[in-house]
Amino acid sequence: MVRLLGMLAGLFFGAALLWSFGNGAYTAITEPTAATAEAEFHRHPKEVRFASDGPFGTFDKQQLQRGFQVYKEVCSACHSLRLVAFRDLSQLGYNEAEVKAIAKGFQVPGIDPNTGEANTRPGLPTDYFPKPFANDIAARAANNNAVPPDLSLMTKARHEGPAYVYSLLTGFQNQPAALLQKFPDAKTPAGLHYNPYFANLNLAMAPPLTAEGQVTYGDGTKSSVDQMAKDVAAFLVWTAEPKLAKRHQTGFPVVIFLIFATVLAYMAYQNVWRGKKGNH
């Protein structure tokens, strides 16, 4: 009796599964998904290469310093790096005095030791990068009702993160005429900016990199919009995974060791069991 009930239950769930599959297939065939401007005009990130790419990738410290300079002079006005401390910049090749000078150039939240009231003070190497706005309300008021995201983990939080950041920064443009012809209601609202690399094509952030020479690099590199976008994207790869190069350096010897150990284990197995299997 129990076996019969089990068979009937199995048949019931199998029939339900087949019905659901068939109904879904019929709906997909007879009711095609309506086209949307986002689906048709959204683009995948551009092809771009970084020194940190691949299993043997490492960081180009000169590029990271240039990227930090772009962040400091352009992006930090709106975006925070709440998971990065000033002292972490020593990993980019800055010496102790330079790290102290960079930290001192930022105002961080503090407490007045005499009154106990909140105030601001020059940063110390042990401090983390401060938020550019006091709270989300202030951030929305300054950015067309949008809160600029923290950039610490941006290249990990987005698909194809480094390429996404680079593409977004270099992707601002006028809406294509074809888009407005096909989707008249998809006109970019006032205060927003069209960018095909953003999910819904329109974002509150105005183009942050607008002209060659916007940032003057200390190493003499020509600061085109394309170069600045690549540099800050590379810097954000580091903020998201500062141990990446070390992990790559450690990973390769570990893989070689595991392969060697596997071969030794197999040879030991063969030696121990040689001639014994046939005795059973």
**35, 218, 270 from 265: Cα distances, Å:** 57, 55, 9
Q: Is residue 259 part of a domain?
A: no
Give pTM, 2 decimals.
Answer: 0.80
Span 53-110, pLDDT tens digits: 988 889 999 999 999 999 999 999 999 999 999 999 999 999 999 999 999 999 999 8
Q: Quick one: average pLDDT of 185-200?
A: 93
Q: Is residue 64 part of a domain?
A: yes
Range of the domain at 175: 37-84+129-245
Q: Residue type at 256? A: I
Q: Is residue 262 part of a domain?
A: no
pLDDT at 19 over 80: no
Provide the number of structural domains found in the chain: 1
Q: Any idea what the CATH number is for the domain that residue 165 is in? A: 1.10.760.10
How far apart (Å, rounded) are the C-alpha atoms in residues 180 and 232? Answer: 33
Residue 260 pLDDT: 76
Q: Is residue 164 part of a domain?
A: yes
Q: Quick one: average pLDDT of 28-52?
A: 77
Residue 192 pLDDT: 94
Q: Give the β-pairing of 107-111 and 118-122.
A: antiparallel
How far apart (Å, rounded) are the C-alpha atoms in residues 62 and 59? Answer: 9
How far apart (Å, rounded) are the C-alpha atoms in residues 165 and 272? Answer: 56
Q: Is residue 201 part of a domain?
A: yes
| Torsion sign across C-alpha atoms 252, 254, 257, 262 | negative
CA 126 vs. chain centroid, Å, equals: 25
H/E element, 107:
strand 107-111
Q: Is residue 108 part of a domain?
A: no
pLDDT at 26 over 60: no
Residue 132 pLDDT: 95
**Burial (0-12, 13-18, 19+ Cβ within 10 Å), 221:** middle
Q: Is residue 133 part of a domain?
A: yes
Q: Is residue 80 part of a domain?
A: yes
List the Cα angle 26/29/30 in 5-degree steps.
85
How far apart (Å, rounded) are the C-alpha atoms in residues 119 and 110? Answer: 5
Span 221-230, pLDDT tens digits: 999 999 999 9
Span 125-182, pLDDT tens digits: 999 999 999 999 999 999 989 999 999 999 999 999 999 999 999 999 999 999 999 9
Residue with tokens 């400091």: 72
